[in-house]
Structure 1
Amino acid sequence: MDSNKKRIIKNTGFLYVRMFITMCISFMTTRIVLDKLGVSDYGIYNIVGGFISMFTVLNSILQTGTRRFLALNLGKGDKNVIKETFSTAFVIHLTIACIVTVFIETIGLWFLNYKLNIPPERMSAANWIFQFSMISVFLNITQTPFTAAVTAHERFNIYAFISIFDAIAKVITVYLLVTIPGDKLIIYGLLILIVNFIVICLYRIYCIKHFEECKFSLKINKEIFKEMAQFSGWSTLGHFSAVLNGNGISVILNLFFGTTINAARGLANTVTYTIRQFVDGFITASQPQLIKLYGAGNIPEFHQLIFTVSKYSLFLLSIIVTPVILEIDFVLNLWLDTVPSYTPIFIKITMIICLLSYSNNMLDQGVVASGYIKQLTCITTPMYLLDLPLTYIVLKLGGTPPTAYMVGALPLFLAFLSNLYILKKYTKFPARKYFLSVFLKNLLLLLIASIIPVYIQSKMPYGIERFLTVCSISVICTITILYCLALDKNTRTMVNNKIKSLIRIK
């Protein structure tokens, strides 16, 4: 298990280097893009791209299965099976890409031109963005097996390097957006498509050169296809709900409030996505190990990994949550020339929901890794599906956009309880202990840690001094509370020894 931990830590390190660089670049480029496109065009770009993403549900259905079967067969070490798994997955995703293209160019094109709430004078530009996004979707769907191969082989350094290249390329894109004359929305869409194409080529060149199974082949292994289809078939509803909730809510908000609200949602997603990278690197690095532990029948360590990753993911998120909730208004005003309405409250609500989401994340991964997709589909997925209709009902009854965001917490909490039940029933997972020692304890400690920062904020005037003071005190309070009350004795000893060794080195 020590080697597994070292591998996870090493891979997490690569992912955090990637995260830090891409985060800085993302914030810089978003400001410029919003300024050059304007709020309405920025909203158009987000709603069109999000709407097309809804059609990738077929790809999402098999995406998890592809990663799981590649990682599982790599663990078994049979090269022929690995090759056949990859080629079968590639043929399936190529077929899916063709099917999705047909749907996008028929139903999708009709919905864009006759249903979405887009200013008439910008419909031409919206159609260009629609076509660029469609090409990107086709390429990304056929890219899935290659990305899965990188993850399954745990080559997270390559994943990090290519992501950094992607971020730097987007800086160049912003420079070209500023300098090239013409319709900025169309130019931006075309430049992003070119960057996506280059990134996909880099992934494929690396995979074909370094992984034997990634050589081009259209061979299908019927047994592997059957296993993947059966596994993925049960996950259909789950992926459908994830895609529908993620992008369907953007469509509903557009129908009720227009493209300006989509600009606010797009900015909120940019900020929260960047913040989530602090945690996602740790989770992504642990996923292959989770699958391999279950595949090897090592259930105690399988359970322990879920506890450990969930606990430290929530610790990382807790350090960020309070400063963001208290001072995001100042950050947005400093970052953007124009802050679309509802952006700050969207971010605050999303950060609170993130605490619940990350309590559930590794449970969800545990159910997938253990192969109980049927149970996940029949028990947990119906909970997720409540989000979209609840959002529509709330808005139809006159609710505000923030209310629509808050509604998402209820289905997520029900899904969290469902996953606990599944893991407890089928893998003897200690669900009660997890609920009390990971979920409730972390929320309680976060509330305790936020008392002093909230008090200080209420006593200081708005400005840079309050921002620096509140953020600093918040981080210190959270780390102190977690260190004293959340870490067990062995972990505290390990942290102390690490700090002492760093001091000695200096």
Structure 2
Amino acid sequence: MQAGNKILINTGILYFKLIVSVAISLFTTRLILSALGTEDFGIFSVVGGVISLLGFINVAMTTTTQRFLSFSLGLEDVLQTRKVFANSIILHLFIGFLLLIVFETVGVYFLNNHLNIASERLQTANYLLQFIIGSTFLVIISVPYDGLANAHENMLFLSILDIFESIGKLCIAFILLNSSFDKLLLYGFLLFILTLLVRIIKWIYCNNKYVETKFNYKNDFEPKKIKEMSSFASWNLFGVLSSIGNNSGTAIVLNIYFGTIVNAAFGIAQQVNGQLSFLSQTLMKAIKPQMTKSEGSGNRARTIKLSIISSKFSFYLYSFVSIPLFFELPLILSIWLKDVPENTIVFCKLILVINLVRQFSMGIMSAVQAIGKIRLYQTVAGSMQLLVIPIGIVFYNLNYPNYTIFLIALLMEILSTIFRVYYFSFLTKYNVIKYITEVFIKPIAPIFISISGILLVQNLMPQDMLRFFVLITVFGLVYITTIYFMGINAYEKEKLNSILKNLRLKFKL
């Protein structure tokens, strides 16, 4: 199968999975909030915040294994690919046990001495933390298997397993609604069992499917390879921990200064953004293996081209949903949730803007990882994320409002994006002005024209479901049309026309 066709097919599979998973997840969140109540949901958001980030941990930690596996597959070296997998198993076992020690010491101490949790719920929170620690450990040690399936671009298996996990979480929600047991404690336990089951399925499948899993530790262990992967993984882990520190740190700071009710609002905002982020992450998941294989085979030009295309279309995909959602959040949240926690709308809007800015450099992140020069990149970008927390604390001590930390995060994201663009230019010698023109300038006209359509609909119609459907229809038609004529270059338009032509011929339209 041609590389371009494989990207297209895998993208289609992943978006089908996304639609199913998001639909299930939205319903599941509504049921979970109803079952737990605002107070317990807030406790879960702050104590179990790492659970909501497990998906991000899995994606980020998989990057190390996937990068080396895809690179070796680009070299068409089966022996090298097997050694990469064997040594990645050793590496992630070490990381898993290291984090286990950290969570069982620092995590337990912080929970019992610094978090603002009612004394009658503290014991439950401690049990919940143990289930979270167990789930995190299972996710980390199974990362090499995620990386192997991704490197082989087996998106069908991964998508089926993700849908199975989403259905499992929905079943958990129904169990909670009908249980007389402590619902918060039961929720943590059942999530741990589901995580264990999914990982066992993945281990069995990969061990039977891929020859790379048939390794011998004695023959395939290479200290040099461990050192090379450890160096890459350590800097990649710094980036992961920076992201976790930013998200969990924000939750903790909000808890200390404003309490668990504000945590509930932040938790809802994070879940909204998490579902939308899958739009661009799905595209990157389909493109990233091809990008790394191109770099492994010495085709730097294709790596650059894929990076620019993925950045631009990540922005278009995320904005296609986030912009109408931004303008209709009160209606959507009132339909989705029975009780909308205070501050949820303003938190959601600010987080949507932050991540919209991040889309401009999504392809750069993958290109830098494919090239392998990540130390400076992760140091600067990760440090900017971490700086949000201490700066936020300073402003909260000056009695600034609770949304201030998100404004700080937005400023840091803008600065980080500027750095990414210049670092990408430094690594690849690609012209900065060309990147800005292609990725930043071209979307401006489609965005402003489409937002004008939204504002027109809002001024002409009262807020209800009819207006929402008219709004998204007008926005979608205007946005797609303006992107086609104003937001993509001649090469991208030619490829798009070719894809549409092939689809018409295939389905005889």
TM range (shorter): over 0.9
The aligned residue for residue 343 of structure 1 is 344
3-state DSSP of counterpart to 1:408:
helix
Aligned partners of 2:11 and 2:283 also within 8 Å: yes
**C-alpha deviation, 1:60, in angstroms:** 8.9
Residue 125 of structure 1 aligns to which amino acid in structure 2? T
The aligned residue for residue 261 of structure 2 is 260
The residue correspondences of 1:283-294 to structure 2 (distance < 5 A) are 283-294=284-295
Q: For residues 61 and 230 of structure 1, do their structure 2 counterparts lie closer, same or farther at Cα, with a shift above 3 Å needed?
A: farther
The aligned residue for residue 408 of structure 2 is 407
Q: For residues 43 and 213 of structure 1, do their structure 2 counterparts lie closer, same or farther at Cα, with a shift above 3 Å needed?
A: same
1:46 aligns with 2:45: yes
Q: Which runs of no fewer than 5 residues in structure 1 stay unpaired?
A: none
Residue 300 of structure 1 aligns to which amino acid in structure 2? A
The residue correspondences of 1:57-76 to structure 2 (distance < 5 A) are 63-76=62-75
Q: For residues 136 and 216 of structure 1, do their structure 2 counterparts lie closer, same or farther at Cα, with a shift above 3 Å needed?
A: farther
Distance 1:274 1:56 in 2: 11
> What TM-score comes out, normalization by structure 1 length?
0.93
**C-alpha deviation, 1:115, in angstroms:** 0.7
**C-alpha deviation, 1:499, in angstroms:** 5.7
Deviations 1:85-136 (A, max 9, x none): 2121112211222222222222211111111111111112211211111110
Distance 1:340 1:58 in 2: 27
Q: For residues 60 and 306 of structure 1, do their structure 2 counterparts lie closer, same or farther at Cα, with a shift above 3 Å needed?
A: closer
**C-alpha deviation, 1:84, in angstroms:** 2.2
The aligned residue for residue 462 of structure 2 is 461
The aligned residue for residue 206 of structure 1 is 205
The aligned residue for residue 169 of structure 1 is 168
The aligned residue for residue 240 of structure 1 is 241
Q: For residues 218 and 261 of structure 1, do their structure 2 counterparts lie closer, same or farther at Cα, with a shift above 3 Å needed?
A: farther
The aligned residue for residue 435 of structure 1 is 436
3-state DSSP of counterpart to 1:372:
coil
Distance 2:96 2:55 in 1: 8
Aligned partners of 2:71 and 2:295 also within 8 Å: no
1:181 aligns with 2:168: no
1:505 aligns with 2:508: yes
The aligned residue for residue 190 of structure 2 is 191
**C-alpha deviation, 1:428, in angstroms:** 0.9
Deviations 1:185-233 (A, max 9, x none): 1111111111111111111111111112224755531110111122234
Q: For residues 286 and 59 of structure 1, do their structure 2 counterparts lie closer, same or farther at Cα, with a shift above 3 Å needed?
A: closer
Aligned partners of 1:62 and 1:228 also within 8 Å: no
**C-alpha deviation, 1:164, in angstroms:** 0.6
Distance 1:85 1:478 in 2: 44
After superposing the two structures, state which structure 1 stretch, 46-55 or 209-218, moved more: 46-55
Q: For residues 216 and 123 of structure 1, do their structure 2 counterparts lie closer, same or farther at Cα, with a shift above 3 Å needed?
A: farther
Aligned partners of 1:57 and 1:240 also within 8 Å: no
The residue correspondences of 1:6-17 to structure 2 (distance < 5 A) are 6-17=5-16
Aligned partners of 1:53 and 1:137 also within 8 Å: no
Distance 1:253 1:5 in 2: 45
RMSD, aligned CA: 2.5
Q: For residues 494 and 88 of structure 1, do their structure 2 counterparts lie closer, same or farther at Cα, with a shift above 3 Å needed?
A: closer
Deviations 1:218-256 (A, max 9, x none): 553111011112223444543332221122111111111
Distance 1:57 1:325 in 2: 23
The residue correspondences of 1:210-359 to structure 2 (distance < 5 A) are 210-215=209-214, 218-219=217-218, 220-359=221-360
Residue 105 of structure 1 aligns to which amino acid in structure 2? E
Distance 1:64 1:333 in 2: 37
Q: For residues 218 and 135 of structure 1, do their structure 2 counterparts lie closer, same or farther at Cα, with a shift above 3 Å needed?
A: farther
Aligned partners of 1:55 and 1:103 also within 8 Å: no
Distance 1:451 1:215 in 2: 58
Distance 2:146 2:184 in 1: 29
Residue 9 of structure 1 aligns to which amino acid in structure 2? L
Aligned partners of 1:65 and 1:231 also within 8 Å: yes
Residue 390 of structure 1 aligns to which amino acid in structure 2? I
Distance 1:319 1:488 in 2: 19
After superposing the two structures, state which structure 1 stretch, 360-369 or 383-392, moved more: 383-392
3-state DSSP of counterpart to 1:77:
coil
3-state DSSP of counterpart to 2:341:
coil
Q: For residues 333 and 197 of structure 1, do their structure 2 counterparts lie closer, same or farther at Cα, with a shift above 3 Å needed?
A: same
Aligned partners of 2:58 and 2:139 also within 8 Å: no
3-state DSSP of counterpart to 1:270:
helix
**C-alpha deviation, 1:497, in angstroms:** 6.7
Q: For residues 163 and 61 of structure 1, do their structure 2 counterparts lie closer, same or farther at Cα, with a shift above 3 Å needed?
A: closer
Distance 1:485 1:137 in 2: 45
Residue 146 of structure 1 aligns to which amino acid in structure 2? Y
Distance 1:505 1:55 in 2: 43
Residue 328 of structure 2 aligns to which amino acid in structure 1? E
**C-alpha deviation, 1:57, in angstroms:** 11
Residue 505 of structure 1 aligns to which amino acid in structure 2? K
Distance 1:95 1:60 in 2: 18
**C-alpha deviation, 1:58, in angstroms:** 10
The aligned residue for residue 472 of structure 1 is 473
After superposing the two structures, state which structure 1 stretch, 41-50 or 312-321, moved more: 312-321
Aligned partners of 1:53 and 1:243 also within 8 Å: no
Q: For residues 278 and 187 of structure 1, do their structure 2 counterparts lie closer, same or farther at Cα, with a shift above 3 Å needed?
A: same
Distance 1:355 1:58 in 2: 20
**C-alpha deviation, 1:149, in angstroms:** 0.8
**C-alpha deviation, 1:261, in angstroms:** 1.6
Q: For residues 82 and 497 of structure 1, do their structure 2 counterparts lie closer, same or farther at Cα, with a shift above 3 Å needed?
A: closer
After superposing the two structures, state which structure 1 stretch, 61-70 or 338-347, moved more: 61-70
**C-alpha deviation, 1:359, in angstroms:** 0.6
Q: For residues 176 and 235 of structure 1, do their structure 2 counterparts lie closer, same or farther at Cα, with a shift above 3 Å needed?
A: closer
3-state DSSP of counterpart to 2:224:
helix
The aligned residue for residue 141 of structure 2 is 142
Distance 1:205 1:393 in 2: 50
Residue 458 of structure 2 aligns to which amino acid in structure 1? Q
Distance 1:497 1:105 in 2: 55
Q: Which runs of no fewer than 5 residues in structure 2 stay unpaired?
A: none
Distance 1:397 1:451 in 2: 38
The aligned residue for residue 449 of structure 1 is 450
Aligned residues: 505
After superposing the two structures, state which structure 1 stretch, 76-85 or 156-165, moved more: 76-85
3-state DSSP of counterpart to 1:385:
helix
**C-alpha deviation, 1:489, in angstroms:** 4.2
> What TM-score comes out, normalization by structure 2 length?
0.93
Q: For residues 217 and 402 of structure 1, do their structure 2 counterparts lie closer, same or farther at Cα, with a shift above 3 Å needed?
A: farther
Deviations 1:432-474 (A, max 9, x none): 1111221133144312220121132134322222222222222
**C-alpha deviation, 1:38, in angstroms:** 0.2
The aligned residue for residue 25 of structure 1 is 24
Aligned partners of 1:290 and 1:366 also within 8 Å: yes
